[in-house]
Structure 1
């Protein structure tokens, strides 16, 4: 790599288990460190998981062919397989794994706008993520699951490089010191529940279990250069255990430079600005800022002049158009929608709202929604509420005053007032398929909306509601029994769907096995397809 990692590493050793696809990564300061890491990995696998490593495949690089390492293989009964020079396909598992990790790591660095010195950390996080992703090669099991025998939890996973606050122990702070230090999330610990966090002030990665995440803020991009890692700049040498890769060399052209005081000031200022506290520190702008301010001011002046000229050219027509739009907007905002029945029938628009209420009650009476009755012993009622809405046209003018009586479904009791509530809707893939078929054969496509659809649904449960406001009944009755469903009931959508299903099947339609909301009818060689999405039919 062009720079050392944050910890001074120059190389990445990636080991892949052929049997599970599980990866293990080591960041190395020198290639000679590979031997110790390989031995450590093999012993851990054989001890912790009771697996026996049978062969090691590598590209014959000098660090993998050391006599001491060869003696270790012989002692463990491990066979060495050296790939053919310049034939990368003979070590395909390792080559593919390296490319995947570089791609994931590069994407994370770029998205977080982090410096290239974070390459080793990004690679380790990429390996951690990859081990927890299902693989088609292993019947959609994750490498972690194959090795450990159980599915991994992902509840603890966070967005890489998101803003993190790490709790400072009481022993290390005074009463008036901040309780937490700010950092960037840098990954996970394999053997504990701790997370790794880059402490911005200390310029190092720390481990902690006490933290708070802000996953809407990432990195510190204004200070550090843009991250672009080029695959062609990687000098890769292959090595893998059971088809496990090799140290991956990152070209070194110079030591990582420490941040200067001016850069630290920029970093601190950037982080303060991103906190969005609204507090600004008074300071004199530099020449570039003043120059930019002048340019912006000049641009605004030019725009104002152009706007004035434009206004003068269109003096006769433009003001009238804008005035009509503004007048409609003002007219719409002056009219408020009542929130209670009393506000509606006693407000300035009571005439319109009374008509809307009567229209809603007439619709319910026509469909036989209610039946006046005496509340049976042991039963309870649920309340109702009037909802008022002003429907407008595209230009903002009033189209209709709408009143709807809804049930207070949150007072329903499971097992008494309702049981099942699920109602299917057409799948988008079905919708796209039908539209494509219609276009291909030149069929006619029609759409209809069932008005007050839920009021057609036949109730199966015994549900009683209190007498709604604005409705008068004989003294012999004290409640309504719901014969049909009304909006607000938990099962209203399901009841409507069942009623619709029974009706369309009764007139000769057949439901599709592929989608419960797709119906088909063939009559005299004519095919009719029917799609339903709640109360919309296509």
Structure 2
């Protein structure tokens, strides 16, 4: 407060221990980057997501590895979290073999799967600096967190829109990663695929995920049997020049390079839809329709009254008139007869 004489200010301006403990607020440390990223492999980031529902091929986790400079992302579906270090080493070997650059720094979180002694020794032998992020500091790996969010949102939308079973999630992820690597992103003027390979991407193999496909049957030997199979498209094979299809009846995967795609139709929608009334909307205000509905309602009331009179307690009119509620019964019947007369039934 301003204006008070200094001799009236008695509070201690030193750090207050109870206040520091009870009023703690998250104030992250922002430090400049220790490594300037100019080339491929300068910084590679890996992140593990899951567990997901067990997939068609028994996978529960997905590991995304991304080069920070080009934004090229690679997906590894995994059965167990412990397989993540092996997948990273496999990716590094492929990267060193297919490019003229070496991985200099690897950035992961600090969980046990990435801090094993064997994994640390392997990275050290290659001269790779391993940097781990602090728990709950997702901004330290913001690039790959953004990629994970983008890919996961697209994958979830595709599965929901097409009505595909959730066990197909690895193939939806793979399809989205394939597209992600072949489109432009804000920080670069080239696609990730072009920055790594030096070639412009070819989008000819791209098809609508989950669309119907008529795959040629290479084992066709008989003249009177179909020469093709009706399957649905699951993605582009990375290790061969072809597509991946699924036979939902046999629950099997098929790879083929000969197919005709029907991108305007997909899997039959198994989601429940409400039943539609047979009465057309333009007939709802028709006077004859209204009179018919009212007549049916009145007939139903008469049937209900008859059923009540035919019960076990009162089998005939004279029994009703001899009962204690005779006056009430007579009044009710008169009201019903009057209503029937007015309706013209």
**TM-score, normalized by the shorter chain, greater than 0.5:** yes
CA distance change for structure 1 residues 305 and 206 in 2, over 3 Å: closer, same or farther? closer
Which residue of structure 2 lines up, in the alignment, with residue 102 of structure 1? 152
> Partners of 1:225 and 1:62 in 2: how far apart?
44
Which residue of structure 1 lines up, in the alignment, with residue 213 of structure 2? 164
From 116, 128, 147, the equivalent of 2:178 is 128
1:494-513 → structure 2 map (5 Å cutoff): none
Q: How far apart are 1:61 and its partner, in Å?
A: 1.4
Could you say what secondary structure the match of 1:164 adopts? strand
> Partners of 1:304 and 1:111 in 2: how far apart?
34
Q: How far apart are 1:181 and its partner, in Å?
A: 1.0
Which residue of structure 2 lines up, in the alignment, with residue 23 of structure 1? 73
Q: How far apart are 1:214 and its partner, in Å?
A: 0.3
CA distance change for structure 1 residues 145 and 177 in 2, over 3 Å: closer, same or farther? same
TM-score norm. by structure 1 comes to: 0.42
1:5–1:120: 8 Å Cα contact kept in structure 2? yes
* Runs of 5+ unmatched residues, structure 1: 227-288, 313-538
Q: How far apart are 1:103 and its partner, in Å?
A: 1.1
Which residue of structure 1 lines up, in the alignment, with residue 58 of structure 2? 8
TM-score norm. by structure 2 comes to: 0.65
Is the counterpart of residue 112 in structure 1 residue 162 in structure 2? yes
Could you say what secondary structure the match of 2:187 adopts? helix
Which residue of structure 1 lines up, in the alignment, with residue 286 of structure 2? 307
Which residue of structure 1 lines up, in the alignment, with residue 233 of structure 2? 185
1:114–1:225: 8 Å Cα contact kept in structure 2? no
Q: How far apart are 1:3 and its partner, in Å?
A: 2.1
Q: How far apart are 1:32 and its partner, in Å?
A: 1.3
CA distance change for structure 1 residues 305 and 72 in 2, over 3 Å: closer, same or farther? closer
Which residue of structure 1 lines up, in the alignment, with residue 101 of structure 2? 51
> Partners of 1:40 and 1:211 in 2: how far apart?
32
1:391-430 → structure 2 map (5 Å cutoff): none
2:107–2:131: 8 Å Cα contact kept in structure 1? yes
Runs of 4+, deviation exceeding 6 Å: none
Which residue of structure 1 lines up, in the alignment, with residue 143 of structure 2? 93
> Partners of 1:185 and 1:44 in 2: how far apart?
27
* Runs of 5+ unmatched residues, structure 2: 1-50, 292-345
Q: How far apart are 1:110 and its partner, in Å?
A: 1.9
> Partners of 2:131 and 2:272 in 1: how far apart?
42
* Count of residues in correspondence between the two structures: 241
Which residue of structure 1 lines up, in the alignment, with residue 261 of structure 2? 213
Which residue of structure 1 lines up, in the alignment, with residue 130 of structure 2? 80
Deviations 1:53-104 (Å, cap 9, x if unpaired)?
Answer: 0011111111111111111101111000011111110111121111011011
From 119, 123, 130, the equivalent of 1:69 is 119
Which residue of structure 1 lines up, in the alignment, with residue 192 of structure 2? 143
Could you say what secondary structure the match of 1:5 adopts? coil
CA distance change for structure 1 residues 120 and 178 in 2, over 3 Å: closer, same or farther? same
CA distance change for structure 1 residues 311 and 102 in 2, over 3 Å: closer, same or farther? closer
Give the RMSD, CA atoms, in angstroms: 2.6
Q: How far apart are 1:50 and its partner, in Å?
A: 2.2
* RCO comparison, higher one (Cα < 8 Å, 6+): 1
